[in-house]
Amino acid sequence: MQVVAQQPPKLEPLPAPPPPPPGVIDDDGPRVNISNNREDQVEEMRQNGRVVMIKVTPPGGEPYYLIDMAGNGQWIRRDALTPSLSVPQWTIKTFD
């Protein structure tokens, strides 16, 4: 039995997408602005024109995040983006 490898078709690269028409603002996706303030690197993540998360990286330190969960300007500091672990702590049975 002879097996013949099938050659993939020759593909051509896709052309670049055209720019948006004048006056149209593409604000669907998140935007990230990076700036260096006082030696800290600050990255602002915007969604719909509003800052929703800030990543602050101090020089030589671990980055931390400031997150506006409700969109009301109350920032919560997180040292990592992993969800915090909430362990249930209720009594199931007591022995006297």
Residue 73 included in any domain: yes
* Average pLDDT score over residue span 23-47: 70
Domain assignment present for residue 55? The answer is: yes
**69 inside domain:** yes
Q: Is residue 72 a part of any domain in this protein?
A: yes
Report residue 7 as tokens. Answer: 């050659």
> Do the domain assignments include residue 12?
no
| Token representation of residue 8 | 């993939």
pLDDT in tens, 38-65: 688 888 888 877 888 888 888 888 888 9
Domain membership of residue 85 (yes or no) is no
The verdict on residue 4 lying in a domain is no
Distance (Å, whole) CA 95 – CA 86: 26
Instruction: Confirm if 53 and 67 have CB atoms less than 8 A apart.
Output: yes
Question: 23 falls in which pLDDT band (50, 70, 90)?
Answer: low
Structure tokens at 62: 């671990």
Average pLDDT over residues 15-41: 69
pLDDT at 30 exceeding the cut of 70: no
Q: How confident is the model at residue 28 (pLDDT cuts 50, 70, 90)?
A: low
CATH assignment at residue 58: 2.20.130.30
Highest mean pLDDT: which of 1-5, 32-36, 58-62? 58-62
**Residue 46 belongs to some domain of the structure:** yes
Query: For the chain, what is the domain count?
Result: 1
Instruction: Measure Cα distances from 51 to 5, 32, 40, 42, 87 in Å.
Output: 53, 9, 18, 12, 31
Domain that holds residue 48: 31-78
To 5 degrees, how large is the angle CA 86–CA 92–CA 96?
A: 135
Query: Which pLDDT belongs to residue 3?
Result: 64
pLDDT of residue 26: 56
